[in-house]
Amino acid sequence: MVVLPLSCNEGTIGGDGLYAEAKIGLKSLFNRFHSESWSTYATICGAVMGWTRGTGLMHSSDMIAAEMEKLGVITFSRAEMAFNILALLSPAITALADETPVYADLTGGFGAMWNLKEHIAASRKAVAENLRLGVVLAEEEIHHEAALHGQQANPHAQEPEVRNKRANLNIGFPSIARQEDMMARLPGLQGMIDLSQTVVIVGFSELGPWGSSRTRWEMESQGQFSLEGYVEMAWMMGLIRHITGDLKGQPYVGWIDVVTSEPISDDEIPERYHQQIMENSGLRFVEPDALNTYDPSRMEFMHEVVIEDDLPPFESSKSAAEAFKLRHGDHVVVRPISDSDNYRVFMKKGAVVMVPKAIPFHPLVGGRVPKGWDPLRYGIPGDIVQEADPTTLYALCCVSEAFLFAGIKDPYQMYQYIQVSEVANCLGTGGGPMKTIQSMYRDRYLDRPVQGDIILDHFSNTMGAWVNMLLLSSSGPLRTHVGACATAIESLDSGCEAIKSGKCKVAIVGGCDDFGEEVAYEFAGIKATANTKEELAKGRLPGEFSRPTTSSRSGFAESAGCGVQIVMAADLALEMGLPIYGIVAYTQMASDQIGRSIPAPGKGILTAARESADARHSPLLDLEIRRAGFEREVAEIRQQAWDGQVSSTCQTESTICATEERMKSRLRDAQHRWANSIRLQDASISPLRAALATWALSIDDIGVVSSHGTSTRANELNEGEVINAQMNHLVRRRGNPLLCVCQKSVTGHPKAAAGAWQLNGCIQMFRDSIVPGNRNADNIDEQLRQFKHLVYPMDSMKVPDMKAIMLTSFGFGQKGALAVVVTPRYVFAAVPTATFEDYRTRVLQRQRTANVEFVARLLKNSLVQVKCDPPWKSAETMHSVFLNPDSRLAADDSFGSETPVKAPSPDSVGERSDVTAALVQSLLERVTQRSGATTSTSVGVDVEEIMSLHIENLNFLQRNFTPAERDYCSKAANPRSAFAGRWSAKEAVFKSFRVPSMGAGAAMQNIEILDESGNPSVKVCLAITQH
């Protein structure tokens, strides 16, 4: 259908050039529909637009729009008119256009107004009169003030105070609304989810071409830095530093320029350092590295040459001379030099020597960490910087920052809640410690100075070992994953698996890789990276080399860095009061079929959508059906537990605990069958659909996919085909666009860290409700049009209330990976209100203290705080900590058998109940006084902790509850809650009588709480009131 932009202004306004003629010409095209042949293959709609404010033509008349609307007509904003035109593309209108041309009057009444010019002139005159009147009144006010205060300046007028804008550096925690505000839009999940088997993200960080995750997100989502972004980048690149003390003899607190030592305010930083920051961050030309002799325009090789004539002698040490002789034999003659320990070496004809040569190669553009980045500035000690590989330094910075993102100032705080063996380190790498490997092989071969124990750092697992030795002091599993470009998601999958299997409760996951000439050269050799010479010849800048999904894409731009997430069981996150950034609902790794190509992208990850044709109609996908089944099973479990308690003649504390543990275990099994793992009941449901159904979501609730998007020909087609096939097979609703985010258009391809950066971006999409666009997408590949579910946006867009995001990653060597992340609101919907409110209070406090700590560490250059001692004080304590499953770190840094932050003591519970009861009692008394009730009115209030009632004590039940009450409570779904409710009611009734108590041991059987027809009533023995 063709929509013609017609107008009600066909000369009625005047003074607008050929505008009217152009619109009349379009109207004549509309009139030709029935008279010309093109009407057989096109439909037509004429949109007659009215007064639209803010356009180029009407901008000068915006001031009189309000006056014009007084005449009974309507003016439109640009967004309103755009919406009206889009409405013409709705199915109902397009169906009408199939029958006959549609003439849509969007004029708002202006189309019937012929004397429009006169009304406009009158409106302008009225507006001008109002302005003139306003000026006169203002002048009158000035004269009035002068008469009162004289001709001096107005005493009420003050010089505007000029303030420098300050950067609000902060971590960027997610907002935590009250539970009732979130529950209005969320399903009822309370009690159904096994939170110990639910993996959540509580911290994340990264280091890459655009700096941290915060600064990268600003460039990805907005295309520019904020004031805070400029300040952080300038600090990171060593352009500014913060001082607190003396500056040129004067006290000063603030930033100074590193070169000039001149003070600089926050709001001066963007203008002063913008060009320097932009030129030395992101995707850019790789500068020669004097330290590592790496010049990307001069790739060095060794050329073998056979000497055709004897060479002049040269002097060397005895050991070197002997080595020459050993290598070249008769082609080398060595002679001692008199009065010297050195030897003279003669190279003879036929000797073979290696002559260095250099050739240019095209990978001149890459995404290294910002120029000037220095691990010393993060607080890493100099000896560690000298010894460790850059990948290790990246990881140390990221892990430290991730803990701050989790609100944890000291990683040892974890050991107040868990045992030291319950923290896993799953950090992975694709290429390993590249600089160390280069030194160990190349520099050693060239006989350059090499660190004596360099072999210790060349193993891939050394990076994780350094993290544990310097930061964590954990005794949990150290899993080092190598999955090429899918390493980070493989690490995430492993961490989630470890938590769900009970092998740990916390996992550090992510990936890290460096940028090196050897890898860059080999990537260019297989034509995986963009050719710099060709791209420059086409007029493209370095930042435009990575163009995922475009028809002109020609390979990826390699980058380097690290990405880290801290994941843990949701129940532990709630107990510790940590921020929850997202729920890891599903992860999967997949290999592929028979083949001969290592880098070929595969389709094995399609298996995440494997399901039978009828599975999508399974009743298990209905939350209400599952809840009904779950509640029936829970009622049976509790009834059986109650029956066992009542029938047992000997109830000890140990048997009670054992019974409760068995009941909890059976409850967890029920949660798994009805929520966490519904495929246990119906394996025909796809893993992807089942994971979403846990949270009452469907395949239509995935709003965004963060795609691998490497900017290579093969990847985008394969990835689009895989995702689209999954959506088709799972019957995603047509017309529900799946937005594809291509992060590598901004960051380039960091190999191992790719999936971690994508996951960080997903977290930030949830937090800010922004889907970033691919600004390098100048022309989407026509071949991608076949994937009907996928949309590739160029501009960032606001998308509120995102529920789930899918992430895909593909690595060389048949590594396919997929993850689904759900917004954290769904965890909060699964917990009781009291639990959530307690969590909310503690997490907000954590966020406040963590933000202060983050800023303080950044200003003091101490983001990384290396540990010198383990959390235990002696070898004997270490043995007891390792061997005791209940060992926890106390507030005084000692280890005990119980955690000091566990459940409160009975005394504290009683005190809290008394305080609550007193508070409610006082509130009721105030209400009674305000309402004018008589003084004889008496209200009793009592608050009881459900778990504090000892219903396993039959003597207690017989003395305090009538047979009818015992029968009713024992048949309840939760007998303990029923008895607690009756007991609290009895106490409240007794308090309302205001008679002396007979002591804590007095029986309460004289007060009976009945439940007739669903309405509670009280029957009281007269003797109790007369006491």
Q: Which CATH number characterizes residue 939's domain? A: 3.90.470.20
Residues 601 and 487 in one domain: yes
pLDDT at 855 over 60: yes
**pLDDT bracket for residue 188 (50, 70, 90):** confident
First to last CA, the chain: 90
What is the crossing angle of helices 653-671 and 623-647, to 10°? 160
Contact 107, 6 (CB under 8 A): no
Q: How far apart are CA 21 and CA 38, in angstroms?
A: 23
All residues at 6 or more sequence positions from 365 whose CB lies less than 8 Å from its CB, including other chains: 283, 284, 285, 286, 530, 532, 535, 542, 545, 557
Contact 751, 485 (CB under 8 A): yes
**pLDDT bracket for residue 452 (50, 70, 90):** confident
| DSSP 8-state code for residue 674 | I
- pTM score: 0.77
Q: Of 760, 775, 708, whose CA–CA distance to 213 is shortest?
A: 760
Residue range 499-516: mean pLDDT, rounded: 94
Among the candidates 120, 144, 176, a domain finishes at 120
| DSSP 8-state code for residue 863 | S
Q: Say which range, 620-634, 838-852, 931-945, has the weakest mean pLDDT.
A: 931-945
Contact 360, 298 (CB under 8 A): yes
Domain that holds residue 938: 906-1026
The CA-atom distances, in angstroms, between 283 and each of 209, 279, 362, 457 are: 7, 9, 15, 29
**pLDDT (tens digit per residue) in 705-715:** 999 999 998 99
Contact 919, 942 (CB under 8 A): no
Q: How far apart are CA 949 and CA 947, in angstroms?
A: 6
pLDDT at 900 over 50: no
Instruction: For residue 65, tell me if it sits in a domain.
Output: yes
10 Å Cβ neighbour count for 78? 12
Give me the residues paired with residue 568 across strands.
200, 506
Instruction: For residue 210, tell me if it sits in a domain.
Output: no
User: What does the block give as tokens for 565?
Assistant: 């997430």
pLDDT at 599: 86
Q: Of 221, 238, 14, whose CA–CA distance to 117 is shortest?
A: 14
pLDDT at 161 over 70: no
Residues 808 and 674 in one domain: no
Residues 574 and 608 in one domain: yes
């250099």: which residue's tokens?
Answer: 358
Instruction: For residue 456, tell me if it sits in a domain.
Output: yes
The SS3 assignment for 205 reads strand
Buried b (16+ CB within 10 A) or exposed e, 6-15: bbbbbebbee
pLDDT at 896: 66
Q: How far apart are CA 342 and CA 362, in angstroms?
A: 44
pLDDT at 908: 38
Of 8, 398, 485, 512, the active-site residue reads 485
């520099």: which residue's tokens?
Answer: 443
Residues 897 and 910 in one domain: no
Q: How far apart are CA 502 and CA 489, in angstroms?
A: 20
Residues 817 and 830 in one domain: yes
**pLDDT (tens digit per residue) in 533-554:** 999 999 999 999 999 999 999 9
Contact 365, 346 (CB under 8 A): no
Strands 770-771, 702-706: pairing kind:
unpaired
Instruction: For residue 271, tell me if it sits in a domain.
Output: no
Of 331, 708, 729, 789, the active-site residue reads 708
The SS3 assignment for 215 reads helix
**pLDDT (tens digit per residue) in 759-799:** 999 999 999 999 999 999 989 999 999 999 999 999 999 99
Instruction: For residue 803, tell me if it sits in a domain.
Output: yes
| Cα angle 478-374-429, degrees, rounded to a multiple of 5 | 30
Three-state SS string over 462-518 comes to HHHHHHHHHHHCCCCCECCCCCHHHHHHHHHHHHHHHHHCCCCCEEEEEEEECCCHH
Residue range 737-743: mean pLDDT, rounded: 96
Q: Say which range, 50-54, 412-416, 546-550, 721-725, has the weakest mean pLDDT.
A: 50-54
DSSP string, 293-354: TB-TTSEEEEEEEE-SSPPPPEEE-HHHHHHHHHHHGGGEEEEEPTTSS-EEEEEPTT-EEE
Query: Across all residues in the chain, what is the average pLDDT?
Result: 86
pLDDT at 158 over 70: no
The SS3 assignment for 182 reads helix
Contact 751, 736 (CB under 8 A): no
10 Å Cβ neighbour count for 864? 23
Phi, psi of 655 (to 5 degrees): -70, -35
**pLDDT bracket for residue 163 (50, 70, 90):** low
Residue range 84-96: mean pLDDT, rounded: 91
> CATH no. for residue 752?
3.40.47.10
**Residues above pLDDT 90, as percent of the chain:** 53
Residues 526 and 588 in one domain: yes
Instruction: For residue 225, tell me if it sits in a domain.
Output: no
pLDDT at 183: 75
| Residue 708 known to be catalytic | yes
pLDDT at 123: 81
Residues 17 and 61 in one domain: yes
| DSSP 8-state code for residue 406 | T
pLDDT at 883 over 50: yes
Sheet holding 44-49, edge to edge: 2-7, 44-49, 102-106
pLDDT at 1010: 79
Q: How far apart are CA 692 and CA 727, in angstroms?
A: 13
Residue range 244-263: mean pLDDT, rounded: 92
pLDDT at 915: 45
| Residue 143 known to be catalytic | no
Burial label, 495 (beta-carbon count in 10 A; 0-12, 13-18, 19+): buried
Q: Say which range, 206-215, 608-617, 658-667, 942-951, has the weakest mean pLDDT.
A: 942-951
Residues 641 and 719 in one domain: no
**pLDDT bracket for residue 37 (50, 70, 90):** confident
Instruction: For residue 768, tell me if it sits in a domain.
Output: yes
Helix (H) or strand (E) holding 436: helix 434-438
Phi, psi of 343 (to 5 degrees): -125, 155
pLDDT at 453: 85
pLDDT at 937 over 60: no
pLDDT at 912: 44
Contact 524, 472 (CB under 8 A): no
| Residue 485 known to be catalytic | yes
The SS3 assignment for 231 reads helix
Q: How far apart are CA 243 and CA 241, in angstroms?
A: 7
pLDDT at 114: 64
Buried b (16+ CB within 10 A) or exposed e, 918-936: eeebeeeeeeeeeeeeeee
Q: How many CA atoms lie within 13 A of 838 on its CB side?
A: 10
pLDDT at 688 over 90: yes
Residue range 266-287: mean pLDDT, rounded: 94
**pLDDT (tens digit per residue) in 189-214:** 888 999 999 999 999 999 999 999 99
Contact 752, 746 (CB under 8 A): no
Contact 75, 50 (CB under 8 A): yes
The SS3 assignment for 572 reads helix
pLDDT at 409: 94
The SS3 assignment for 183 reads helix
Residues 649 and 635 in one domain: yes
Residues 742 and 629 in one domain: no
Q: How far apart are CA 787 and CA 769, in angstroms?
A: 25
Among the candidates 120, 146, 181, a domain finishes at 120
**pLDDT bracket for residue 938 (50, 70, 90):** low
Contact 722, 608 (CB under 8 A): no
**pLDDT bracket for residue 316 (50, 70, 90):** very high
Residue range 238-264: mean pLDDT, rounded: 93
Q: How many domains does the chain have?
A: 6
Instruction: For residue 166, tell me if it sits in a domain.
Output: no
pLDDT at 909: 39
pLDDT at 634: 84
> CATH no. for residue 346?
3.30.70.2490
Residues 797 and 881 in one domain: no
pLDDT at 39 over 90: no
Residues 639 and 505 in one domain: no
Beta strands in 88-212 (DSSP E): 102-106, 199-207
**pLDDT (tens digit per residue) in 986-1012:** 888 877 776 666 655 577 777 888 776
Q: Say which range, 467-476, 788-797, 901-910, has the weakest mean pLDDT.
A: 901-910
Of 458, 481, 729, 749, the active-site residue reads 749
pLDDT at 910 over 50: no
